[in-house]
């Protein structure tokens, strides 16, 4: 199982993790936001960071090349170590840069957003966006350690907390009713980041993902459970990237969950009452996603590029009930359009 460390003293924990990885040179990667907000917390331990642009628009081949160049110019060898300090974009791109430079150097992830802590930094998926598609190029490569400390969550606004919370909702849906019910009640608190229950639920979410990844590290079967909400969600995210109104990954996943729970009800008998409870929650907290019927061909085309697909068949992870997975499900174009109608009209 991947080495995931829950910390209450980030300086001590990070220092120990670095000391346990034999290395000749130490590098750190941040985006321009985490360089200001998070690096100062651990600056006594880490060198001046390699800084890249923030947000998913910079998760590109050009940015990746700039990190390789910085490593090369800094004298990195195949025995060097890089600490990725930031959100999911930093851990995805940084993990890919480390995994490919000199055919692979050691790296540690220190996720600073809720989304990265419960999802992006755990499980060994790395990559970049390419050709207008999410995570189109990448490799499976686990970090030497992932250090999770909720102290960094206090730097986030409510919208970014909600973005990560959508992945936690997904974990609740694929685990059990008790877990899901608790998630549906916690976010009603005014401040998620300082709620004592969050630490426990965050650990539960990471545990759900770790157990699945341990059984299926390269997504041959069971790990596809973690893609619930993502076939539609990645299409929404890619679609929004081309507009003037990009959306956070977790918001795209939340809207994707609505569509895929609809398909779960229609095709797998998922309980309508539970579906409506989750849909109402998403409506209340995540708002709406703007598109029209004229956009359906574009969205359908984007879904055809999803990595779970086999040939031209669009592949979904659906549910028969909370925790009852139905992997490798398909849907007709008409059913997909009905799900898009449901999101557009039902919310």
Q: What is the CATH number of the domain that holds 261?
A: 1.20.1090.10
Show pLDDT as tens, one digit a residue, over the chain (347 residues). Answer: 679 999 999 999 999 999 999 999 999 999 999 999 999 999 999 999 999 999 888 999 999 999 999 999 999 999 999 999 999 999 999 999 999 999 999 999 999 999 999 988 788 899 999 998 888 999 999 999 999 999 999 888 889 999 999 999 999 999 999 999 999 987 654 556 666 778 888 999 999 999 999 998 888 889 999 999 999 999 999 999 888 788 999 999 999 999 999 999 999 999 999 999 999 999 999 999 999 999 999 999 999 987 777 777 899 999 999 999 999 999 999 999 999 999 998 76
- 84 neighbors 108 (Cβ within 8 angstroms): yes
Q: Among 124, 155, 186, which residue terminates a domain?
A: 155
Do residues 306 and 216 share a domain?
Answer: yes
Do residues 118 and 244 share a domain?
Answer: no
Sequence-distant (6+) residues with CB within 8 A of 73 are none
Please tell me the total count of domains within the chain. Answer: 2
Do residues 144 and 247 share a domain?
Answer: no
Closest to 18 in 3D by CA, of 51, 40, 52, 47: 47
Do residues 151 and 164 share a domain?
Answer: no
Distance in angstroms (rounded) separating the CA atoms of residues 128 and 132: 10
Closest to 86 in 3D by CA, of 106, 66, 59: 59
pLDDT at 347: 62
Do residues 92 and 209 share a domain?
Answer: no
Q: Is 225 exposed, middle or buried (0-12, 13-18, 19+ CB in 10 A)?
A: buried
Do residues 162 and 91 share a domain?
Answer: no
Do residues 304 and 178 share a domain?
Answer: yes
Do residues 210 and 164 share a domain?
Answer: yes
Q: Among 121, 155, 189, which residue terminates a domain?
A: 155
Sequence-distant (6+) residues with CB within 8 A of 30 are 38, 39, 49, 50, 51, 52, 85, 86, 90
This prediction has a pTM of 0.92
Give the range of the structural domain holding residue 264, as residue numbers without chain letter: 158-346
pLDDT at 198: 82
pLDDT at 197: 77
Q: Among 113, 132, 155, which residue terminates a domain?
A: 155
Q: Give CA angle at 140 (137, 142), nearest 5°.
A: 135
Do residues 288 and 168 share a domain?
Answer: yes
pLDDT at 51: 98
- 93 neighbors 59 (Cβ within 8 angstroms): yes
Instruction: Please report, for residues 39, 53, 88, 163, 193, the alpha-carbon distance to residue 160 in angstroms, rounded to integers and kept in the order given.
Output: 19, 17, 11, 5, 11
Distance in angstroms (rounded) separating the CA atoms of residues 107 and 129: 21
Q: Which residues of 267-277 are buried (b: 16+ CB within 10 A; e: fewer)?
A: bbebbeebbee
Neighbour count for residue 214 (Cβ, 10 Å): 13
Q: What proportions of the chain, in percent to the nearest 5, are helix, strand and coil?
A: 55, 15, 30
Do residues 28 and 93 share a domain?
Answer: yes
Do residues 169 and 269 share a domain?
Answer: yes
- CATH at 105: 3.40.50.1970
Do residues 33 and 140 share a domain?
Answer: yes
């Amino acid at each position: 199982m991947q080495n995931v460390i829950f910390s209450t003293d980030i300086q001590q924990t990070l220092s120990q993790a670095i000391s346990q990885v034999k290395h000749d040179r130490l590098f750190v990667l941040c985006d321009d936001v985490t360089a200001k907000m998070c690096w100062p917390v651990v600056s006594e331990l880490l060198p001046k960071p390699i800084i890249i642009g923030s947000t998913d628009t910079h998760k590109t081949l050009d940015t990746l090349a700039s990190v390789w160049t910085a490593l090369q110019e800094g004298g990195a060898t195949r025995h060097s170590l890089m600490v990725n300090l930031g959100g999911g974009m930093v851990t995805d791109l940084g993990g890919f840069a480390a995994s490919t430079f000199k055919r692979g150097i050691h790296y540690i992830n220190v996720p600073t957003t809720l989304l990265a802590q419960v999802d992006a930094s755990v499980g060994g998926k790395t990559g970049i966006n390419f050709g207008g598609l999410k995570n189109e190029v990448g490799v499976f490569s686990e970090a030497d350690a992932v250090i999770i400390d909720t102290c960094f969550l206090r730097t986030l606004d409510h919208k970014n907390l909600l973005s990560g919370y959508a992945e936690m909702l997904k974990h609740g849906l694929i685990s059990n009713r008790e877990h899901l019910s608790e998630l549906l009640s916690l976010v009603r608190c005014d401040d998620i980041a300082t709620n004592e229950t969050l630490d426990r639920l965050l650990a539960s979410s990471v545990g759900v993902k770790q157990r699945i990844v341990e059984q299926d590290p390269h997504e041959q079967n069971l790990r596809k459970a973690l893609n619930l909400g993502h076939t539609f969600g990645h299409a929404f995210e890619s679609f929004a990237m081309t507009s003037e109104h990009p959306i956070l990954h977790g918001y795209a996943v939340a809207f994707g969950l609505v569509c895929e729970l609809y398909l779960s009800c229609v095709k797998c008998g998922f309980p309508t009452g539970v579906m409506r409870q989750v849909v109402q929650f998403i409506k209340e907290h995540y708002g709406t996603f703007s598109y029209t019927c004229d956009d359906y061909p574009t969205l359908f085309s984007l879904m055809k590029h999803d990595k779970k697909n086999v040939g031209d068949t669009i592949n979904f992870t659906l549910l028969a009930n909370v925790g009852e997975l139905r992997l490798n499900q398909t849907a007709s174009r008409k059913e997909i359009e009905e799900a898009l109608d449901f999101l557009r009209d039902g919310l």
